[in-house]
């Protein structure tokens, strides 16, 4: 258990913000399967302030979606601060600042991980956001361990980290890769351990290479971080949160979900998505999730191909009826291994 200001997080297993994925239905499913805290998919500060359907979706925080963090990304403090106010007023429990996204398009627009090379600008954003909402909501920051492996990049990281805590942020999430690495190569857990030693009792969450429950527990044990944010590892595998909780309690690792249980959760996820985006769009939105869910099915390749072919709600429903029929005798479900691939181009973790 840890706290962001007055917001208590019951256990250390968090659903991370993930662009293109961590919408309201995904967050609800993650909570149902055991997530203690969830973040929205990262949103541009400008979008929050623009009237329209997208703004209404972002600012929709229903009573069952708590505690929830609203992750913002941008480059202009004059826009960032009022966007944080809007998200606070909408009901987000925590305002999270993204200084970690490695996507090239984002970097080219001076957002996300770009800020790690410009500490003065990053610190000004943190200061302005904290001044705007910090008395009513905890403010947190998401960072990678630097732009690259240079000594200057490391100095910039610690300059921003120390300044953020001095300003008053309640916690920082650190991904163990650099921005230049994107998702290639290992996440440096030894760096996470160093960061935690550096900040003492302040809250640090770790991120990177968390694709199964054993890895999540191992990161906490090896680095001393207060919790972990699970991103790609929970897409199509919300059961990872319950598995983490079991190991955290000292219980055996649960068996992989049966095909019937997979079908139940996918059906509920689909129902939630229909309510969120409308029946006409739900099949298309759920296609990328179905592809990830298929990795746990004993006939994974065939199920994946079936989900890839989905273009309509009716086709999505037929995949469920064909491959997740609880009346059929299925082999045991599979344990998800590794990261697979992200279906949504430009996904930002």
Mean pLDDT comparison of 51-65, 94-108, 220-234, 319-333, highest-scoring range: 220-234
Name the superfamily (CATH) of residues 2-249. Answer: Aldolase class I (3.20.20.70)
101 flagged as catalytic: yes
Taking the whole predicted model, whether its pTM rises above 0.85 is answered as yes
Catalytic residue among 33, 101, 216, 348: 101
Nearest to residue 269, comparing CAs of 14, 28, 33, 20?
A: 28
User: If you classify domain 259-323 with CATH, what class do you get?
Assistant: mainly alpha
So where are the chain's domains?
A: 2-249, 259-323
pLDDT score recorded for residue 336: 73
In the chain, how many H helices and how many E strands? 14, 11
Query: Is the pLDDT reported for residue 340 higher than 60?
Result: no
SS (H, E, C) 147-175: CCCCHHHHHHHHHHHHHHHHHCCCEEEEE
**C-alpha–C-alpha distance, residues 32 and 30, integer Å:** 5
pLDDT score recorded for residue 347: 56
For strands 68-73 and 94-99, give the pairing: parallel
- Tens digits of per-residue pLDDT, 36-80? 999 999 999 998 998 877 788 888 899 999 999 999 999 999 999
């Amino acid at each position: 258990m840890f706290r962001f200001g007055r917001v208590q997080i019951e256990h250390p297993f968090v659903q991370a913000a993930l662009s293109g994925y961590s919408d309201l239905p995904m967050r609800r499913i993650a909570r149902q399967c055991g997530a203690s805290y969830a973040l929205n998919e990262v949103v541009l500060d400008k979008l929050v302030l623009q009237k329209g359907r997208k703004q209404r979706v972002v600012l929709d925080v229903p009573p069952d979606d708590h505690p929830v963090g609203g992750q913002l990304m941008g480059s202009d403090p004059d826009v960032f601060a009022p966007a944080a106010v809007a998200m606070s007023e909408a009901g987000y429990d925590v305002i999270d600042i993204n200084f970690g996204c490695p996507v090239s398009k984002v970097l080219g627009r001076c957002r996300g991980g770009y800020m790690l090379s410009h500490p003065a600008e990053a610190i000004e954003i943190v200061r302005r956001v904290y001044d705007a909402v910090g008395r009513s909501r905890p403010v947190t920051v998401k960072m990678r361990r630097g732009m690259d492996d240079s000594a200057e990049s490391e100095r910039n990281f610690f300059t921003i980290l120390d300044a953020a805590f001095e300003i008053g942020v309640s916690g920082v999430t650190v991904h163990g890769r650099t921005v230049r690495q994107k998702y290639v190569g290992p996440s440096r857990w030894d760096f996470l351990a160093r960061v935690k030693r550096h900040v003492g009792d302040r809250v640090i969450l770790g991120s990177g290479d968390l694709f199964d429950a054993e890895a999540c527990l191992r990161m906490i044990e090896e680095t001393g971080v207060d919790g972990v944010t699970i991103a790609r590892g929970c897409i199509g595998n919300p059961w990872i949160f319950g598995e983490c909780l079991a190991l955290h309690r000292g219980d055996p690792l649960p068996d992989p979900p049966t095909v019937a249980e997979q079908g139940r959760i996918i059906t509920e996820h689909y129902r939630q998505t229909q309510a969120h985006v409308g029946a006409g769009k739900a099949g298309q939105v759920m296609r990328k999730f179905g592809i990830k869910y298929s990795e746990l099915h004993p006939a994974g390749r065939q199920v994946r191909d079936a989900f890839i072919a989905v273009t309509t709600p009716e086709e999505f429903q037929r995949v469920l009826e064909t491959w997740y029929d609880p009346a059929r005798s299925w082999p045991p479900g599979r344990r998800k291994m590794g990261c697979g691939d992200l279906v949504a181009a430009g996904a930002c973790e």
